[in-house]
């Protein structure tokens, strides 16, 4: 009885109005956010020398948005791209707020390029690599406008050192890209997996 009255209250009076946050979308976002927190945490558990920074090398913040984008969950991937850097900062103090802004821009461009690549060229195993590099280019533009975001370091030196450090992570992203498309091929329209 109670569920029917709630359903009646939430139903639009005329026509069908799409809702932004459905239970399914909230679940997807929740799962991807948990993964976006879990992947960096697991990477930081690996035993390495104290001066080694595995996060910038292996790019674990990109894994969950990549999966969301490849599986046709664009809204979820965008939500995770916006929220994940800030949740990681709240829980682990990494990245710092200035870095979280830069990371958020990188992730948003990354998701947009992966989705645009799927729509334009179809599912390709290498889409994560150009998406990452275009995300770096966008963050360069942002840091060029607001130098305080990277501590005032020269933009090209900062970007080139970031890219050189992240090359193993780009390889991991391409591997995830290939595995996701191999085992969960998207539907012909570029949406979610055929089996979904």
- Does 4 score more than 60 pLDDT? no
Max CA pair span of the chain: 64
> Between residues 115 and 18, which one has the greater pLDDT?
115
Residues 96-128 have pLDDT tens digits of: 999 999 999 999 999 999 999 999 999 999 999
Residue 94: CB atoms within 10 Å: 16
Query: What are the tokens at 182?
Result: 């191999």
pLDDT value, residue 188:
65
pLDDT value, residue 193:
65
pLDDT class of 134 with cuts at 50, 70, 90 = very high
- Does 77 score more than 90 pLDDT? yes
pLDDT class of 21 with cuts at 50, 70, 90 = low
Through-space distance between the first and last CA atoms of the chain, rounded to whole angstroms? 32
Distance of CA 28 to the CA centre of its chain: 13
- Does 18 score more than 60 pLDDT? no
> Between residues 167 and 194, which one has the greater pLDDT?
167
From the options 1.10.10.410, 1.10.1760.20, 3.90.1580.10, 1.10.10.10, give the CATH code of 23-183: 1.10.1760.20
Domain residue spans in the chain?
23-183
Rounded alpha-carbon distances, angstroms, from residue 97 to 24, 93, 101, 104, 108: 30, 8, 6, 10, 16
């Amino acid at each position: 009885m109670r569920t029917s009255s709630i359903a009646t209250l939430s139903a639009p009076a005329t026509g069908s109005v799409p809702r932004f946050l459905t239970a399914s979308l909230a679940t997807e976002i929740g799962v991807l956010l948990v993964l976006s927190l879990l992947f960096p945490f697991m990477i930081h558990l690996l035993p390495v020398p104290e001066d080694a920074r595995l996060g910038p090398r292996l790019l674990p913040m990109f894994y969950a948005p990549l999966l969301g984008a490849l599986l046709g969950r664009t809204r979820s991937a965008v939500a995770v791209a916006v929220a994940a850097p800030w949740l990681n900062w709240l829980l682990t103090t990494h990245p710092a707020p200035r870095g979280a802004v830069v990371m958020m821009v990188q992730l948003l461009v990354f998701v947009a390029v992966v989705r645009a690549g799927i729509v334009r060229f179809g599912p390709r195993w290498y889409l994560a690599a150009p998406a990452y590099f275009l995300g770096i280019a966008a963050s360069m533009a942002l840091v060029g406008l607001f130098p305080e975001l990277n501590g005032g370091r020269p933009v090209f030196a900062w970007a080139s050192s970031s890219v050189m450090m992240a090359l193993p992570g780009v390889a991991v992203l391409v591997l995830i890209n290939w595995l996701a498309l191999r085992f969960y091929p998207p539907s012909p329209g570029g949406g979610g997996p055929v089996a979904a």
